[in-house]
Amino acid sequence: MGKNTVTIVNNATGQELELPLMTGTHGPATVDIGSLYSKLGIFTYDNGFKSTASCQSSITFIDGEEGILLYRGYPIEQLAEKSNFMEVCHLLYYGELPTKEQYSKFSWMITRHSMINESLRDFYHGFWHNAHPMSIMVGVVGALSAFYHDSLEIDNPRHQEIAAHRLIAKMPTIAAASYKYSIGQPMVYPQNRLSYCENFLQMMFSVPASEYEINPLHAKALDLLFILHADHEQNASTSTVRLAGSSGANPFAAVSAGIGALWGPAHGGANEAVIRMLEEIRDVSAIPKYIARAKDKNDSFRLMGFGHRVYKSYDPRARIIRNTAHDILKTTSGNDPLLEIAMRLEEIALKDEYFIQHKLYPNVDFYSGIIYKAIGIPVNMFTVLFTIARTIGWITQWKEMMSDKERVIGRPRQLYTGAARRDYVPIERRS
Ligand code: SDX
């Protein structure tokens, strides 16, 4: 038996199979079970893919026990402190931090693609004005493929790059337009003289009737939040983008599928759900009641913003965001009562035996909503901002999947537990 193998024994039949053990740069070794069904006639079962590596990737690495997050090898703490979102987009997509020349070329490319086709603006008017902005994002982003036939040769690296530039560049414009449509205000065009986050803020909040002054602190806070949300290995929405893309669907359709997955409250929708939860708790005195509910197996209530499939220690992004939440609130209307409740909730939860035992720590969504709220972002736009930030992660993971020489359509199997084979019964004989 080789050192770099794992032997599977089917005790029911006595069959044995030696499988290769693969090791990466960091993280657990991975057994390649690709030949399991053909050799032993059995599948593996892994509800929620808790022990399953769906692909090989060189983009992002997470160590959930140690609370480590690396983008192309760089620690998130260093990127949060020293980099900016445009530079992180370049790092993730091209694999390296840009030189000065590469940075200015990339930033200009993104800036010049920030407008959307005028006909796309009409698309919004088909939505009910009360539509959740995420429903508009799913629809409008999916429709982009109708406008960019010049970048749909999905195996052409240049087309992949143009599609990536367009998605990164247009997401803030599409997002801000979905907000403007929902409040009946005119959509605002991007301004090339502004940075990515400044542009988003002016598209969100400026109106033709008056001057809009961008708060640099708000732009800086957004830039940090976008860095922290940019990519996160094979989370639910990224896995959705990969699976959709593996069928040969165009990148706009694949990213639209990812937006749908991100919307769920167990995933990117948690930042909106955290604020709704804090608003429901309303007062620090009510916290013990909600913690008891979160522990009650008969109650489906969960503490939004707590827990993570991978992080079984403090989410490094939450640690960074926690400090920013305090800074940003010092510059706004003083302490938001929701932050008080959030801080108290965190303090109580982290001492509670159940949370300690279940390794439930605050995740990135716990504090991000507090910051978004402090800079005036409407709550139903929180997951839309997560969408803007995660677009670079999705399109980079899509490109990596498309460039994989061993790429095949993703098609999981199942354990069938339905009715055994049976014959059709004519309706007259059914009781
Ligand atoms: C994101 O995957 C990613 O990387 C996602 C993300 C990214 O950047 O892409 O990091 C972004 O989605 C962050 C997570 C945001 N979601 C929330 O904050 C929603 C609240 N959290 C939970 O729904 C939950 O913690 C999950 C979905 C995040 C993780 O769930 P798991 O890993 O499937 O864990 P589980 O549901 O099996 O729970 C394990 C135990 C259970 O108790 P037991 O049945 O074992 O007794 O922990 C309990 C759960 O009941 N538990 C919670 C809890 N989360 C888990 N109990 C109370 N409150 C919670 N929040």
- Cα(393)–Cα(76) distance, rounded to whole angstroms? 14
Q: Is 269 left (phi over 0), alpha (psi -120 to 50) or beta?
A: alpha
Residue nearest to atom 52 of ligand 1 (CA): 302
DSSP classification of residue 260: H
DSSP classification of residue 362: B
- Cα 110 to ligand 1 centroid, rounded to whole Å: 35
- Cα 3 to ligand 1 centroid, rounded to whole Å: 36
Which atom of ligand 1 lies at the shortest distance from residue 306's CA? 60
Residue nearest to atom 8 of ligand 1 (CA): 232
Contact 14, 7 (CB under 8 A): no
Alpha carbon separation from 256 to 102, 261, 370, 422 (Å, rounded): 29, 9, 26, 40
- Cα 258 to ligand 1 centroid, rounded to whole Å: 19
Long-range contacts, stretch 60-66, CB < 8 angstroms, 24+ apart: 60/92, 60/231, 60/232, 60/233, 60/393, 61/25, 61/26, 61/27, 61/233, 62/232, 62/233, 62/310, 62/311, 63/26, 63/27, 64/308, 64/310, 64/311, 64/312, 64/313, 65/312, 65/313, 66/313
- The structure tokens listed for 308 are 């993570």
> What tens-digit pLDDT sequence spans the chain (431 residues)?
678 999 999 999 999 999 999 999 999 999 999 999 999 999 999 999 999 999 999 999 999 999 999 999 999 999 999 999 999 999 999 999 999 999 999 999 999 999 999 999 999 999 998 999 999 999 999 999 899 887 789 999 999 999 999 999 999 999 999 999 999 999 999 999 999 999 999 999 999 999 999 999 999 999 999 999 999 999 999 999 999 999 999 999 999 999 999 999 999 999 999 999 999 999 999 999 999 999 999 999 999 999 999 999 889 999 999 888 878 777 765 567 888 898 899 899 889 999 999 999 999 999 898 899 988 999 999 999 999 999 999 999 999 999 999 999 999 999 999 999 999 999 999 99
- The structure tokens listed for 419 are 């009715």
Contact 104, 87 (CB under 8 A): no
Ligand 1 pocket, CB under 6 A: 48, 232, 235, 266-268, 270, 294, 302-310, 358, 360, 363-365
pTM above 0.75, yes or no: yes
- The structure tokens listed for 184 are 């009946």
